[in-house]
């Protein structure tokens, strides 16, 4: 009934916004004209649609507005992307990569950018009556903010049947949650593996970082989250005041546990396959995520000699884990092995240390005694690397940092600093009560003499720092490996001819979740100490690094492990 041409593109292709105004589907131009209900008597036993569909009531009795769970997660992603951009990530990550990933997820999960099959929404909401939507085409939504603030909102298409049917559901669900679809979201998607959760927001961020090949590993991302540089814990305190959060919303957005490496990584792989993403950009030898690059970083952070980098490069080249096809993620391809870049690099270093020092609680100490005698008697040239001295220095620093981390986690207050109030009438009472609690905490703190919590540290890629300028000899970067190497056929080889395997056979049980079983009592203490060091640096369980070590060993000694025995035919009768 509205046949005027668009003032911008001269097309006659109109749709209705949530406010009842006409907008052009071709150029997204919104007019001032609104749709009027000519005659409502012909409709019987159905809910009448007024000029404004009422999808989003900007003002409710408690001063809030209607909002959806996907909008809450969109705000969380926006805040996380802005924090990553502040840490030095390319701005393209927020406005292009992450935004497109999120839109594709909304479309694939049929929350936006799609036409929902007729009747599906009505079945999902048992309290819904039949709707009288006059426009069955996708309409313009009113989501709060797109991730890309520079582009128009007009190209986002949501399902009109979903929008209209939830307006009545909001009255019944508002008792249980502040969001319109909080109850439905948990009931409908409780068996859905890719239901949007707070850990999945980090999976989205890591997927975008990996697409851009940014110099930030997953362990770095999770560490920045724990340190408070990236919004995750109590992130809902950044929601607008009109987005009331209570009831089941807290179950969705409130986090009371630290993000787990394996969960975030596995969800990232599932997301990439679910979104039907193409092959990710190639991880070449010039990328930060290449094992040679990451090994150099972790050798510096672990305070190990620079000469070890030549050995890590030799191992990477020997077993072909530096190839582009091995390192590049191909979503949904089950024939290729998914790479945890930081864990892989740490495992390579562990294997090299076993090759050179054996790590059997005996041989490394003999080499250390030899290096100590040589350093006492010969002052010329660089010092030989002493494993025993390195162990003492690292153990002292590691114990201090681990204790500090454990204390910070134990003292962490999971409650949100910003008080939550659900109505304008209760706002003053809640704020007054919160101020009283803060005053009491300050008074008791002064009486007990407790030290105020220190400010969060500045973000850094390194947790342990070592400088060669220190006169106490605590930096081992420039130390030599000559005491444990010998030259054969023009190549430096280890004086140690032996090697022990962590496991002879890898576990093939899918339910197990690990390729090899790890118990501290079953392995030498030196080996466990090295695993513990990299476990702290990567904030992962030692068993994950142990798994990767076993895989590398089986690739490195594949010919010897699976060598067919030669039978003496002369002994046969």
Cβ neighbours, 10 Å, residue 118? 9
Within 330-464, strands assigned E span: none
Higher pLDDT, 175 or 142: 175
pLDDT at 263 over 50: yes
Higher pLDDT, 247 or 267: 267
Among the listed ranges 12-26, 256-270, 354-368, which one has the minimum average pLDDT value? 12-26
The closest alpha carbon to 274, from 327, 196, 184, 185, belongs to: 196
Residue 556: per-residue pLDDT: 92
Cβ neighbours, 10 Å, residue 49? 21
Output the six-digit token pair for 527.
């080996």
Residues 6+ apart with CB under 8 A from 236: 72, 76, 245, 249, 253, 254, 416
Among the listed ranges 21-30, 76-85, 541-550, 564-573, which one has the minimum average pLDDT value? 564-573
pLDDT at 313 over 80: yes
Residue 63: per-residue pLDDT: 56
Q: What span, in angstroms and rounded, lies between the C-alpha atoms of 221 and 208?
A: 12
Residue 89: per-residue pLDDT: 94
DSSP 123-188: HH-TT------S--S-B----S--S-TTS-STT--B-HHHHHHHHHHHHHHTTTBSSTTHHHHHHH
* Mean pLDDT calculated for residue range 478-482: 89
* Mean pLDDT calculated for residue range 296-323: 95
Q: What span, in angstroms and rounded, lies between the C-alpha atoms of 244 and 64?
A: 6
Question: Which conformational region is residue 389 in: left (phi greater than 0), alpha (psi within -120 to 50 degrees), or beta?
Answer: alpha
Backbone angles phi, psi at 305, to 5 degrees: -60, 145
Diameter over CA atoms, the chain: 106
Mind listing the pLDDT tens digit for each residue in 169-201? Answer: 444 444 466 788 877 777 765 556 688 999 999
Output the six-digit token pair for 396.
């002292």
Q: Residue 210 burial (CB < 10 Å; 0-12/13-18/19+)?
A: buried
């Amino acid at each position: 009934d509205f046949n005027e041409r668009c003032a911008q593109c001269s097309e006659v292709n109109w749709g209705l916004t949530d406010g009842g105004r006409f907008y052009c589907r071709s150029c997204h131009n919104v007019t001032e004209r609104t749709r009027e209900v000519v005659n409502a008597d012909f409709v019987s036993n159905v809910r009448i649609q007024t000029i404004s569909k009422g999808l989003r009531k900007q003002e409710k009795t408690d001063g809030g507005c209607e909002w959806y769970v996907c909008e809450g997660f969109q705000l969380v992603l926006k805040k996380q992307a802005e924090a990553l951009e502040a840490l030095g990530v390319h701005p393209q990550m927020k406005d292009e990569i992450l935004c497109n990933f999120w839109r594709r997820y909304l479309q694939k999960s049929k929350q936006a950018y799609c036409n929902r099959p007729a009747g599906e929404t009505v079945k999902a909401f048992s309290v819904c009556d039949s709707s009288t939507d006059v426009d069955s085409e996708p309409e313009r939504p009113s989501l709060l903010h797109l991730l890309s603030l520079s582009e128009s909102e007009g190209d986002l298409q949501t399902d009109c049947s979903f929008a209209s049917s939830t307006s009545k559901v909001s009255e019944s669900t508002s008792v249980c949650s502040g969001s319109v679809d909080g109850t439905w979201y948990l009931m409908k998607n409780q068996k859905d593996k890719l239901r949007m959760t707070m850990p999945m927001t980090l999976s989205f961020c890591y997927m975008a970082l990996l697409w851009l090949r940014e110099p930030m590993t997953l362990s770095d991302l999770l560490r920045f989250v724990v340190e408070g540089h990236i919004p995750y814990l109590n992130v809902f305190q950044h929601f607008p005041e009109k987005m009331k959060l209570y009831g089941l919303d807290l179950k969705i957005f409130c986090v009371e546990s630290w993000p787990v490496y394996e969960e975030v990584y596995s969800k990232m792989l599932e997301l990439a396959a679910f979104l039907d993403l193409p092959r990710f950009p190639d991880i070449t030898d010039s990328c930060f995520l290449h094992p040679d690059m990451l090994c150099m970083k972790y050798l510096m952070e672990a305070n190990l000699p620079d000469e070890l980098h030549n050995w890590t490069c030799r191992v990477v080249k020997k077993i072909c884990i530096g190839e582009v096809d091995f390192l590049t993620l191909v979503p949904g391809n089950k024939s290729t092995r998914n790479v945890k870049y930081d864990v892989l690099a740490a495992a390579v270093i562990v294997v090299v240390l076993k090759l050179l020092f054996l790590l059997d609680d005996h041989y490394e100490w003999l080499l250390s005694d030899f290096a100590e005698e040589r350093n006492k008697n010969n002052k010329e040239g660089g010092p030989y690397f002493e494993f025993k001295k390195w162990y003492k220095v690292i153990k002292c620093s590691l114990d201090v940092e681990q204790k500090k981390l454990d204390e910070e986690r134990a003292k962490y207050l999971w409650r949100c600093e910003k008080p939550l109030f659900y109505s304008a009438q209760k706002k003053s009472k809640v704020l007054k009560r919160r101020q009283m609690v803060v005053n009491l905490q300050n008074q008791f703190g002064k009486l007990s003499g407790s030290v105020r919590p220190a400010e969060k540290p500045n973000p850094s890629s390194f947790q342990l720092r070592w400088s060669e300028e220190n006169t106490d000899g605590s930096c081992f970067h420039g130390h030599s490996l000559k005491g444990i190497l010998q030259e054969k056929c023009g190549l430096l080889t280890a004086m140690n001819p032996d090697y022990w395997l962590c496991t002879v056979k890898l576990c093939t049980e899918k339910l197990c979740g690990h390729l090899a079983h790890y118990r501290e009592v079953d392995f030498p203490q030196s080996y466990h100490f090295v695993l513990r060091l990299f476990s702290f640096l990567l904030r992962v369980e030692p068993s994950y690094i142990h798994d990767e070590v076993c895989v590398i060993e089986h690739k490195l000694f594949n010919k010897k492990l699976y060598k067919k025995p030669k039978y003496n035919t002369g002994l046969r009768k």
